[in-house]
Structure 1
Amino acid sequence: MGKCCKCNSRLLCMCLLPCMMTGHLLVYIMVSIFVTISYTPPKITIHYIAPGISANSTALASYPLGPFWNLRLEDSALWNQLQHAWDRQHNPILRGNTTGIIRNPKAKVLSEIEDECLSDCMSQCSVPRIHGLDSFPKQMRAFIRSMHCREYPLLINQPGMCRRNSSSYDLDSPLLVMAIKSQVGNFENRQAIRETWGRSGLVNGELNKKGGLVRTVFLLGRQDSSTGPHPDLKNLLELENQKYGDILQWDFRDTFFNLTLKDLLFWHWLQQYCHTAIFVFKGDDDVFVRTGALLDYLNKQWEEHDLWRAYTNETDMNLFVGDVINNAMPNREPSTKYYIPGSFYKGMYPPYAGGGGVVYSGSLAFRLKKVSERVRLFPIDDVYLGMCLHRLGLSPSHHPGFLTFDLPEADRGKPCAYKSVLLVHRRSPNEMLTIWKRLQKMPGHC
C-alpha cells in the first residue's frame, strides 16, 4: 500500500511538472508583452541651445530623425546642399557617376559656384548665382562669399618655434603647444597670458612636478576694416613679435565667422613646423588655465597611451577633451552673433566641445586637418571641430574641469574653488594676474 502511494505521488509530480513549467512560461510571456506595450522610449532632451539664444525664444530648428551626417534628410539649406554634393563627390562608389552630382539644376548651380570660387580664392570670392543671397545677414553673406577659400599667406611666422636648437632645453618635442586665438588689438590679453598660464618653456606640473616643454603661439588674422575706422596697429604688432616671437598672423579678415580658418591654418602650420608636438591646447585669449594641473592630466594620459601602445601597437591617440555639448540646436535668434539662418543650415549639431578651450592629441590634429578637406567650412569654429570629429567616427570626451560657463558667482574670487578646475571662461587680463598670484599661494587645506 505504501509503495502504491509513493508511486502515485511521483506520477502526479511528473504530470504536474510540465503544467507548472508551461504556466510559468505563459506568465513570463504575458509580463513581457505588457512591459513592451506600456514602454515609452525616453525623450531626447535638448541639453543646450547654441550660445546667445534668448531664454524666452521658441524659435528652435527642426532636426533630422537620422544620424547627424545623413544630411539628405535636410537638403533645403545651402550648407547641407554643398556638403551633400561633396559627400557624393568623395564617395568611391559614386565617384565615377558624374551625372549623379549634377542631377538637378540646383546642384548644377552649386557646382558652378564652386568652380568660380576655387579659380581664384585669393581674390574676392563672389557667388552671384546663389538665389536669395541678399536675404542672408551681412556677416553670413561675407562668410558664404569666401567659404570655399582655405589657403591664405602667412604675414608673420615662427618657423623655428619647435626646433630643438631654438631653446636651451634638451628636449626633442613639446609636450604641449598652446594655440591661443587672439586679435591684433588684444595686447593686454596676450601679455597677461604670457605672464601667467601661457608661459613658453619648461613648465612644472602641480602634483608630481614632471611637467613638460610648453610652446605658446597666438593666432591672428588682419584687422577687420569693415567694422569701422581703426588705428593702424601694424607697427606695434611687429614690435611685440620682435620681443616675444610667438605671433602667427595670416592674411584674412579677423571676424567671428572666420575663427574656423584659424583652426585649419594652424593645423597646416603645426604639420609643417611643429609636427612632433604631443598635445595641442586650442583656446581663446579670455580664458584662464591651470597649466600645471593640465600637464599632470596630459602626462597621465600619455603614460596610459604608452601602456596601451605596448599591447596593441596602436600609435594614434584619439584624445579630444573639453566641455562637451550634446543635442545642440542652431541659434535662430537674428540679434545674436551666433545666429545661423535655417536657409543656411538645417539639422542638429553633432556633439562638440564648447567655446573657451579644448585639448587634443597632436596625432589627432593631423587627422582633423586631413578630414577637414571633406567637410564644408562652418561659421562657428567649435561646431566645425565637432563636425570633423564626427566625420572621423570619434566623439569629444567631457571633462568636468573645463568650465566654459564659469564658476558660481560666489566662488569666483576663492582660490580653493579652482582646485578641480583646468579651464575657466571668461577672465579679463587683470583677473588672470590676480587669480594666478592667489593660486601660487593656495592654502594646503584646499
Structure 2
Amino acid sequence: MGKCCKCNGRLLCMCLLPCMMTGHLLIYIMVSIFVTISYAPPKITIHYIAPGISANSSALASHPLGPFWNLRLEDGALWNQLQHAWDRQHNPILRRNTTGINRKPKAQLSTEIKDDCLSDCTSHKCSVPHAHDFNSLPEQIRAFIKSMHCREYPFLINQPGMCRRRSNSFGADSPMLLIAIKSQVGNFENRQAIRETWGRSGLVRGETSKKGGLVHTIFLLGRQDSSTGPYPDLKNLLELESQKYRDILQWDFRDTFFNLTLKDLLLWQWLQKYCPTATFIFKGDDDVFVRTDALLDYLHKEREEHNLWRGYTNDTEMNLFVGDVISNAMPSREPSTKYYIPETFYKGVYPSYAGGGGVVYSGSLALRLKEVSERVHLFPIDDVYLGMCLHRLGLSPRHHPGFLTFDLSITDRENPCAYRSVLLVHKRSPKEMLTLWKQLQNLHGQC
C-alpha cells in the first residue's frame, strides 16, 4: 500500500512538472509581450522642422535612420550620383580596383559631361549634366546645375593687404576675429549700420573682462543678378564705398540665393592666401545683430580651454564650429519655397548644420574646410553645405543657445536686459541695429 502511494506520488509529480514548466513559460512569454508593447522608445528631440514643410501636413522631419554619408547610390538624384562618383574617385581602396570593371556607373557618365564645361564658367555656356526632367525644374535649380562645377571666379574688388595692413596699424600680428558678412550690392544701409555698430573694425574690448581683440570686418559680394529684373547701376557707388572703407570683396558671379555657397568657398580661398592667421571667423548675413564684445569673451574662454587640453592631447588643431544647430531636417519638397530641393536633385536627410544667419569657427578649421570642400560637390543651400563639409571631416557643429535663429519673444525684444545671454539675434533692420546698439551700451552695468 505504501509502495503504491509512493508510485502514485511520483507519477503525479512527473505529470504535473511539465504542466508547471509550461505554465511558467506561458507566464514569461505573456510578461515579455506586455513589456514589449508597453515600452516607449526614447523620445527624439526634433530641434527643427525643415523649411517648406506644409502647414497642413502632420509629418515632422524624420530622424535619420542611417548615417548621412554613405556609398549607396541614389538612382535618379543628380547630386547623389555626382557625389557617389567623387567618393569612389577619392577612396584609395576603390581607386585601385580597376580590374573587371567594364561598365561605367551613371554618376561617372554625369561627371564626364560636366568636364566638358570647365573651360567656360563665367558665361555658364556648357552642357547640362544628366538630370531627369531637367526642363521641368525651377529656373534657379537649372541655373545652379549648369554652373555647379565652377569654383573659381575672378575678383572684381579685392583687399589683398587687409589683414596685414590693419593688423600692423594696431600693433597686432593677426586679427582675433574676422567678421565676414554676406551682403549684396544694393544693401549699403545694412553694411553701414554694421560698420557703425557691432561690426566696427579695430581693437574691441570684451564685455566682462579686460581681454578683447583685434576685429576686422569684410563684406562678401557677387555681381547684381540682372536675370531677376532691372536694377540701378550701382557699380560706381560700390567702388567709392570700397575706396573709403576698404572692406569689400566682390567676385564675378551672379549674386543669387543658391550661389551663397560660393561665398563660403571663395572666402576660404581668400583666407588661405591673404589672412591665414586669423584666430576666429564669424560668417553671417547682413541682417543679424551680434554682441561682439560678448562673443570675444566666449572665444577667449574657448581658446584658453583648448590650450589647456592641448597639453594633454597634443592636438594643435582647434575644431570649433558654433551656432544654432539644426538636426533631423529633411529637404523642402515644396516648390513655392526658396529652399525647394527636388528629389531628382537630392535624396536623403541633411546632416546636422548650423543656420539662422551666422556661425563662428576657428581659423584653422576654415583652412581644413577649404581643403575638404574640394571633395564635396556644391549644394544650393550654404548652411547645409557647411554641414556636409564638417561631416566629411568627422566633426559636428556645436549648438549654442545664444545664437537666436527666431529672435527673442515679442515681450523681450525691447528689454535690453533680455539680451544678456544673447550672442546673435536675427533679423534686424539697419535702423533697429542702430537703436539696439545704443540700448546695449554698458549692458553689464544696467542688469
Name the TM-score, length of structure 2 as normaliser.
Answer: 0.88
Does the residue aligned with 2:96 lie in a helix, a strand or coil? Answer: coil
Native 8 Å contact 1:281 1:359 kept in 2: yes
Which segment is superposed worse, 263-272 or 305-314?
305-314
Native 8 Å contact 2:174 2:214 kept in 1: yes
Q: What does residue range 7-406 of structure 1 map to in structure 2 within 5 Å?
A: 37=36, 39-42=39-42, 44=44, 46-57=46-57, 65-70=65-70, 72=72, 74-98=74-98, 103-104=103-104, 106-128=106-128, 130=130, 131-163=132-164, 167-406=168-407
In 1, Cα distance between equivalents of 2:401 and 2:286: 21
Query: For residues 419 and 441 of structure 1, do their structure 2 counterparts lie closer, same or farther at Cα, with a shift above 3 Å needed?
Result: same
Once the 2 structures are TM-superposed, how far is the Cα of residue 270 of structure 1 from its aligned partner? 0.4
1:347-371: CA deviations, max 9, x gaps? 1100000131000000000111111
Query: For residues 389 and 100 of structure 1, do their structure 2 counterparts lie closer, same or farther at Cα, with a shift above 3 Å needed?
Result: farther
In 2, Cα distance between equivalents of 1:58 and 1:346: 21
Amino acid paired to 2:68: F
User: How many residues in Structure 1 have an aligned counterpart in Structure 2?
Assistant: 420
Which segment is superposed worse, 132-141 or 68-77?
68-77
Which segment is superposed worse, 68-77 or 313-322?
68-77
Native 8 Å contact 2:372 2:393 kept in 1: yes
Q: What is the root-mean-square deviation in Å for CA atoms of aligned residues?
A: 2.6
Amino acid paired to 1:92: P
Once the 2 structures are TM-superposed, how far is the Cα of residue 104 of structure 1 from its aligned partner? 4.8
Once the 2 structures are TM-superposed, how far is the Cα of residue 167 of structure 1 from its aligned partner? 4.0
The answer for unaligned runs of 5 or more in structure 1 is 1-25
Once the 2 structures are TM-superposed, how far is the Cα of residue 35 of structure 1 from its aligned partner? 9.0
Native 8 Å contact 2:120 2:126 kept in 1: no
Name the TM-score, length of structure 1 as normaliser.
Answer: 0.88
Query: For residues 391 and 40 of structure 1, do their structure 2 counterparts lie closer, same or farther at Cα, with a shift above 3 Å needed?
Result: same
Native 8 Å contact 1:64 1:74 kept in 2: no
Query: For residues 43 and 186 of structure 1, do their structure 2 counterparts lie closer, same or farther at Cα, with a shift above 3 Å needed?
Result: same
Once the 2 structures are TM-superposed, how far is the Cα of residue 118 of structure 1 from its aligned partner? 2.5
In 2, Cα distance between equivalents of 1:120 and 1:104: 26
Once the 2 structures are TM-superposed, how far is the Cα of residue 71 of structure 1 from its aligned partner? 5.5
Which segment is superposed worse, 249-258 or 302-311?
302-311
Does the residue aligned with 2:94 lie in a helix, a strand or coil? Answer: coil
Amino acid paired to 1:398: H
Query: For residues 159 and 200 of structure 1, do their structure 2 counterparts lie closer, same or farther at Cα, with a shift above 3 Å needed?
Result: same
Native 8 Å contact 2:118 2:150 kept in 1: yes
In 2, Cα distance between equivalents of 1:140 and 1:151: 20
Once the 2 structures are TM-superposed, how far is the Cα of residue 181 of structure 1 from its aligned partner? 0.3
Once the 2 structures are TM-superposed, how far is the Cα of residue 170 of structure 1 from its aligned partner? 1.2
Native 8 Å contact 1:63 1:346 kept in 2: no
Query: For residues 308 and 432 of structure 1, do their structure 2 counterparts lie closer, same or farther at Cα, with a shift above 3 Å needed?
Result: same
Once the 2 structures are TM-superposed, how far is the Cα of residue 50 of structure 1 from its aligned partner? 2.5
In 2, Cα distance between equivalents of 1:105 and 1:57: 37
Which segment is superposed worse, 61-70 or 429-438?
61-70
Once the 2 structures are TM-superposed, how far is the Cα of residue 304 of structure 1 from its aligned partner? 1.1
| Alignment-derived partner of residue 20 in structure 2 | none
Once the 2 structures are TM-superposed, how far is the Cα of residue 306 of structure 1 from its aligned partner? 1.3
Once the 2 structures are TM-superposed, how far is the Cα of residue 410 of structure 1 from its aligned partner? 1.4
Query: For residues 83 and 99 of structure 1, do their structure 2 counterparts lie closer, same or farther at Cα, with a shift above 3 Å needed?
Result: farther
1:93-131: CA deviations, max 9, x gaps? 111345899845633530322221224333415334524
In 1, Cα distance between equivalents of 2:73 and 2:426: 36
Which segment is superposed worse, 174-183 or 159-168?
159-168
Native 8 Å contact 1:64 1:73 kept in 2: no
Native 8 Å contact 2:51 2:332 kept in 1: yes
In 1, Cα distance between equivalents of 2:167 and 2:328: 45
Does the residue aligned with 1:431 lie in a helix, a strand or coil? Answer: helix
Query: For residues 165 and 425 of structure 1, do their structure 2 counterparts lie closer, same or farther at Cα, with a shift above 3 Å needed?
Result: closer
Native 8 Å contact 1:61 1:347 kept in 2: no
| Alignment-derived partner of residue 428 in structure 1 | 429
Query: For residues 264 and 276 of structure 1, do their structure 2 counterparts lie closer, same or farther at Cα, with a shift above 3 Å needed?
Result: same
The answer for unaligned runs of 5 or more in structure 2 is 1-23
| Alignment-derived partner of residue 413 in structure 1 | 414
Does the residue aligned with 2:425 lie in a helix, a strand or coil? Answer: strand
Identity %: 78
1:172-220: CA deviations, max 9, x gaps? 0111000000000000000000000000010000000211000100000
Once the 2 structures are TM-superposed, how far is the Cα of residue 56 of structure 1 from its aligned partner? 2.1
Once the 2 structures are TM-superposed, how far is the Cα of residue 443 of structure 1 from its aligned partner? 7.1
1:201-249: CA deviations, max 9, x gaps? 1000000021100010000000001011111100000000010000000
Once the 2 structures are TM-superposed, how far is the Cα of residue 63 of structure 1 from its aligned partner? 8.2
In 1, Cα distance between equivalents of 2:232 and 2:190: 18
Does the residue aligned with 1:357 lie in a helix, a strand or coil? Answer: strand
Query: For residues 443 and 367 of structure 1, do their structure 2 counterparts lie closer, same or farther at Cα, with a shift above 3 Å needed?
Result: closer
1:75-97: CA deviations, max 9, x gaps? 43111111111101111011134
